[in-house]
Amino acid sequence: MPRKGENIYKRKDGRWEGRSLRANGKYRYFYASTYREVRAKMKEAWQEREAEKKNTIPLPTNPGELFQSWLSDTVSERVKPTTYESYYHCIHGYVIPYFKSIENQPMSQSCVCGFVKSISENASISQTYKRKIISVFKMSIREIYKDYPNQPKLLEAAVLPTGKTHQEVSVFTMKEQRILEQAAFMSPDKRALGIILCFYTGIRLGELCALRWRDIDLEAGTMYIGNTVSRIRNFQSVESKTMLHIGTPKSKTSTRKIPLPGFLLELAKELKPGIKSEEHFILSNKNTPFEPRVYQKLYKRILKDTGIKDRKFHAIRHTFATRALEVGVDIKTLSEILGHSNVTITLNIYAHSLMEQKKAAIEKLNMMHVTQMKVV
């Protein structure tokens, strides 16, 4: 007689026999010398069948709708508005258009490879933004397809080809910096002094526009960076396409205190008596921040007037870091002043400047050899 609830019998010849019903209606038989062995074989076969069922789960045929749903229903509730806008541009600018095409449906490993290749070969996208697109894409794959067995293969395919990705950052020469500082000091628009502040603290443009007078501690000689201003897309209104957003800095480590050089503290002391409120923003001297894009125009105008080669405002931040390394600031201290999440980021960005430091160090050893190691 079979045990209760199991199709396992002991045959007359002493062996044990088990059977299970296949999907086609026929039985599959299992044989062993003991009951436990038969039961183990049947369990193993059942597990194999279940695995096969999972592997045949079809992926949804329209990935574009899934990406849109993930963005609007999942991401929008948990990230900052500036981060959401960044994800929005990646998904709507590149991911959805690619997977909207019929030949790229349903989602598969080959489709993912094709998408990565299309991003990799797009010469109009910077290497940094390519990495960002793929990073957001992988995040969406990880969450959208988390219940599908072939998800690991999709993630494995979402990798940019390796190669030389480092690009030397753009910095102002010492002569150009001197000309820019003089132009900012001489400008009738006192907001131009913000350029000098950035040259000696390395803060970002959005952080400059978000500075309030209360953030400057004259007694401690420090400046607190706790906010950033940016113009982002307004997803809540049809009438106003964009809005000025005051939010927290790029990362947790971007919230920081930076010591100010003495000449900037003296300048702040001179300007502070003319302010109306500690809560007012420094650039606007109002309770509303100055527009970053407008400040960009002021900066570009000064570049044009001085005849200096056009560069992004971010080049001032790179210049600060480069000068700091040139005067011997250690990489850990510089990383904290810049607000990088770890030292590795600083090392990767400013490797060219560190090479100059290495050359200077070796030259000192050379001088030591020449002066101290002469054979008497």
Q: Is residue 67 part of a domain?
A: yes
Alpha-carbon gap, residue 188 to 151, rounded angstroms? 60
Alpha-carbon gap, residue 28 to 323, rounded angstroms? 77
Q: Are residues 41 and 186 part of one domain?
A: no
Q: Are residues 101 and 247 part of one domain?
A: no
Q: Are residues 355 and 232 part of one domain?
A: yes
| Cβ within 8 Å of residue 19, ≥6 positions away | 7, 27, 28, 29, 30
Model pLDDT, residue 292: 94
Q: Are residues 238 and 350 part of one domain?
A: yes
Q: Is residue 365 part of a domain?
A: no
Q: Are residues 337 and 250 part of one domain?
A: yes
Q: Is residue 22 part of a domain?
A: yes
Sheet holding 222-225, edge to edge: 216-217, 222-225, 256-259
- Do residues 123 and 50 lie in contact, with contact meaning Cβ atoms separated by under 8 Å? no
Using alpha carbons only, how large is the chain's radius of gyration in Å? Answer: 31
Q: Is residue 373 part of a domain?
A: no
In DSSP terms, which residues pair with 232 in a beta bridge? 243
Q: Are residues 348 and 220 part of one domain?
A: yes
Q: Is residue 276 part of a domain?
A: yes
Strand, helix or coil at 38? helix
- Where in the sequence is the domain holding 19, given as residue range(s)? 8-55
Q: What is the CATH number of the domain that holds 281?
A: 1.10.443.10
- Choose among 208, 201, 231: nearest CA to 284: 208
- Do residues 329 and 346 lie in contact, with contact meaning Cβ atoms separated by under 8 Å? no
Model pLDDT, residue 328: 85
- Do residues 5 and 29 lie in contact, with contact meaning Cβ atoms separated by under 8 Å? no
Q: How open is the CA angle 274-277-278, to the nearest 5 degrees? A: 105
Q: Are residues 90 and 29 part of one domain?
A: no
Q: Are residues 111 and 48 part of one domain?
A: no
Model pLDDT, residue 255: 93
Q: Is residue 167 part of a domain?
A: no
Q: Are residues 339 and 240 part of one domain?
A: yes
Q: Are residues 285 and 206 part of one domain?
A: yes
Identify the domain boundary among 110, 127, 157.
157
Q: Are residues 113 and 43 part of one domain?
A: no
Model pLDDT, residue 173: 92
Largest alpha-carbon pair distance within the chain? 108
Q: Is residue 375 part of a domain?
A: no
Q: Is the four-CA dihedral 216, 220, 221, 223 of positive or negative sign? A: negative
Model pLDDT, residue 375: 61
Identify the domain boundary among 157, 189, 221.
157
Residue with tokens 């990406």: 67
Model pLDDT, residue 58: 55
Q: Are residues 200 and 81 part of one domain?
A: no
Half-sphere exposure of 230 (CA within 13 A, CB side): 18
Model pLDDT, residue 52: 61
Q: Is residue 376 part of a domain?
A: no
pLDDT in tens, the chain (376 residues): 555 446 888 888 888 898 887 766 778 888 888 988 888 888 888 877 766 655 555 555 678 888 988 988 888 878 888 889 999 999 999 999 998 887 777 788 888 999 999 999 998 988 889 999 999 999 999 988 887 877 888 888 888 887 655 567 889 999 999 999 999 999 999 999 999 999 999 999 999 999 999 999 999 999 999 999 998 888 776 677 888 889 888 778 889 999 999 999 999 999 888 788 999 999 999 999 999 999 999 999 999 999 999 999 999 999 999 999 888 899 999 999 999 988 998 988 887 777 777 787 788 888 888 888 866 5
Alpha-carbon gap, residue 152 to 150, rounded angstroms? 6
Chain centroid offset of residue 157 CA: 20
Q: How many domains does the chain have?
A: 3
